[in-house]
């Protein structure tokens, strides 16, 4: 399957936002474990969610030190998370994720 970098980048962002929102992976270590993507890619993808007007915020854990906590999606912008849910198998296949 020949897929453009633009499409894979877009799908990666959608998938990461969906994983965070569904609480399947709401931290960088959890994202790397679930997807197999490198840590830096996970961090860059979270930062790039704003380019799609997806508001993703880090919540510090109660009594946690430094970066202990999790991410939350506050606003999906123009993206419909229901579409991601319905197409998650296709998105995983395009990205080569388990």
In tens, the pLDDT along 60-93 reads: 877 656 667 899 999 999 999 999 999 999 999 9
Domain that holds residue 79: 5-95
pLDDT given at position 87 = 97
Give me the CATH number covering residue 39.
1.10.10.10
Q: Which residue has the tokens 């319905």?
A: 86
Number of domains in the chain: 1
Summarize pLDDT for 11-61 with one digit per residue, the tens.
999 999 999 999 999 999 999 999 999 999 999 999 999 999 999 999 887
Q: How much is the pLDDT for 46?
A: 98
Q: Which tokens belong to 88? A: 């998650």
Please list the alpha-helical segments (H only) found in 1-98.
5-21, 28-35, 39-48, 81-95
Report the percent of the chain where pLDDT is more than 70: 93
């Amino acid at each position: 399957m020949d897929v453009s970098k633009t499409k894979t980048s877009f799908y990666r962002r959608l998938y990461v936002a969906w994983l965070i929102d569904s609480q399947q992976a709401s931290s960088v270590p959890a994202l790397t474990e679930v997807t197999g993507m490198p840590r830096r890619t996970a961090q860059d993808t979270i930062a790039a969610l704003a380019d799609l007007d997806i508001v993703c915020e880090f919540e510090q854990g109660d009594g946690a030190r430094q970066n202990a906590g999790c991410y939350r999606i506050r606003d999906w912008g123009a993206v419909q998370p229901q579409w991601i849910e319905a197409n998650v198998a296709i998105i995983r296949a395009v990205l080569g994720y388990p």
